[in-house]
């Protein structure tokens, strides 16, 4: 088997069909997630870290960092396997909107849909535009937008 590339379970560029939908598993956001993200990012904004302060905000309690939600969504998307072993690089996030806050205890999942494909043979694959809709346990959108990723061609 030496010399053979091992294919992950991801899709090659040619296998992406416009309209294809992919649903991730769910994941509950915890206080530990928020504290760890604050430490990692250096973002100790009181809306995330101070219960007393947050009680006086329109939300009435602490909320997860928007970028924490985005990071968790990235992990959930990868865990579906559709890009495993075939993604060459993450190119861009487009039209991203933070719609509703994510609270401690919310369980989020990602609904993805292939919106567009564009061959880029000189890059060894093609661009895939994926619509991302991150929803909570009540099926409410918390954030949404488009991810653009370069995916390998089957022959590369």
Task: Please state the domain extents for the chain.
Answer: 13-152
Length of the chain: 156
**Residue 83 clears pLDDT 80, i.e. is over it:** yes
**Residue 7 clears pLDDT 70, i.e. is over it:** no
86-144 per-position pLDDT tens digit: 999 999 999 999 999 999 999 999 999 999 999 998 988 999 999 999 999 999 999 99
Are 125 and 84 a contacting pair, CB within 8 Å?
no
Q: Domain 13-152 adopts which CATH fold?
A: Thiol Ester Dehydrase; Chain A (3.10.129)
DSSP string covering 95-153? EEEE-S--BTT-EEEEEEEEEEEEEEGGGTEEEEEEEEEEE-TTS-EEEEEEEEEEEE-
- Which is higher by pLDDT, 7 or 29? 29
- Which is nearest to 71 in space by CA: 100, 46, 38, 49? 38
Rounded Cα–Cα distance for residues 30 and 108 (Å): 11
Rounded Cα–Cα distance for residues 126 and 16 (Å): 10
- Which is nearest to 73 in space by CA: 154, 4, 136, 19? 136
Rounded Cα–Cα distance for residues 82 and 13 (Å): 11
């Amino acid at each position: 088997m030496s010399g053979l590339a091992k294919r992950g379970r991801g899709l090659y560029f040619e296998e992406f069909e416009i309209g294809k939908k992919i649903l991730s598993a769910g994941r509950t956001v915890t206080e530990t997630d928020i504290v760890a993200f604050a430490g990692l990012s250096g973002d100790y904004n009181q809306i995330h870290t101070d219960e007393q302060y947050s009680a006086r905000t329109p939300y009435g309690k602490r909320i997860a960092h928007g970028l924490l939600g985005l990071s968790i969504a990235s992990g959930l998307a990868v865990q579906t396997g559709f890009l495993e072993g075939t993604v060459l690089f993450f190119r861009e996030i487009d039209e991203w909107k933070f719609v509703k806050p994510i609270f401690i205890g919310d369980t989020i999942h990602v609904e993805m849909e292939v919106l567009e494909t564009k061959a880029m043979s000189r890059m060894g694959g093609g661009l895939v535009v994926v619509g991302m809709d991150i929803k909570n346990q009540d099926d409410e959108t918390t954030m949404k937008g488009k991810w653009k990723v370069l995916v390998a061609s089957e022959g590369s």
